[in-house]
Amino acid sequence: MLVGYARVSTTDQSLNLQTDNLEKAGCEKIYHDVASGVADSRPGLGELMKYIRDGDTLVVWKLDRLGRSLRNLIDTINNLHDKGIGFKSIQESIDTTTSGGKLVFHIFASLAEFERELITERTQAGLKAARARGRLGGRPSKLDDKGIETAKKLMQDTSISINEICKILNISRATLYRNVKK
C-alpha cells in the first residue's frame, strides 16, 4: 500500500499541490501536517508512523517535506527500511524499493556522514589550536581563587551549614564541593 505524507510550514500555504500529486502517484491514504520543518511536533507524521506497516511504501512529494535536515531524513528513511517499509519521493525520483533508488539514497547518506566527519575534524582542530594558545574552553568557574579560599574558611566554621555557605557564595553544593576539592 502506498501511504502519502504532505507538509506545509504555515496555514497560509496550501496542501493541494502535494496531495494532488500523492493521489496521482496512487496513495490510498494521505497524512498531513501544518508545521515548520524544524518543529518536533508533527502529529500527522506520528499517526502515519503508527499506521504504516511492513510492505507499505511512504510517498512524499519532495524530500524536504519529510525531513528537518539531511541527517533527520536519513534517520527516518533508515527507520522505515528497518521496519520493511519503502520510501518514494516524487520530485527527486527516489524509490528505495528499487536498486537504483537505494543507490541514490546511500550516496546521500554517505555525503551526510562525510559532512559530519568534516565538521568534527574542524571542531577538534579548533579546540586543539585554542588549547595551544592557553584557552581551555568550557564554562568559567563560579568561584575564583579568592572565592575558593573564602569557601574553605567558611567550611571550617562548624556553626555554618553547607546550605548557608552556598547561599552566601551564591553557588550550588556541587560547585562548592568541586572547587574545595581542588
- The per-residue pLDDT for 40 is 67
Residue type at 127?
L
| 173 or 108: which leads in pLDDT | 173
- Report the percent of the chain where pLDDT is more than 70: 96
Query: What residues act catalytically?
Result: 9
- Distance from CA of residue 162 to its chain's centroid? 39
- Average pLDDT, integer, range 111-135: 88
What is the pTM for the complete model shown?
0.61
- Poorest-confidence range of 38-47, 82-91, 121-130, 163-172? 38-47
Average pLDDT, the chain: 88
Task: Pick left, alpha or beta for residue 26 (phi over 0 → left; psi -120 to 50 → alpha; otherwise beta).
Answer: left
User: What are the residue boundaries of the structural domains of the chain, listed by start?
Assistant: 2-98, 145-181
Task: Say what the pLDDT of residue 61 is.
Answer: 93
pLDDT classification of 109: cutoffs 50, 70, 90: confident
Strand order in the sheet with 29-34: 29-34, 2-8, 57-60, 86-89, 94-95
Just give the CATH number of 2-98: 3.40.50.1390
Instruction: Say yes or no to pLDDT of 154 above 80.
Output: yes
Could you read off the pLDDT of 40-93 as tens digits, one per residue? Answer: 678 999 999 999 999 999 999 988 888 777 778 888 888 898 999 999 999 888
Q: What is the pLDDT of residue 37?
A: 59
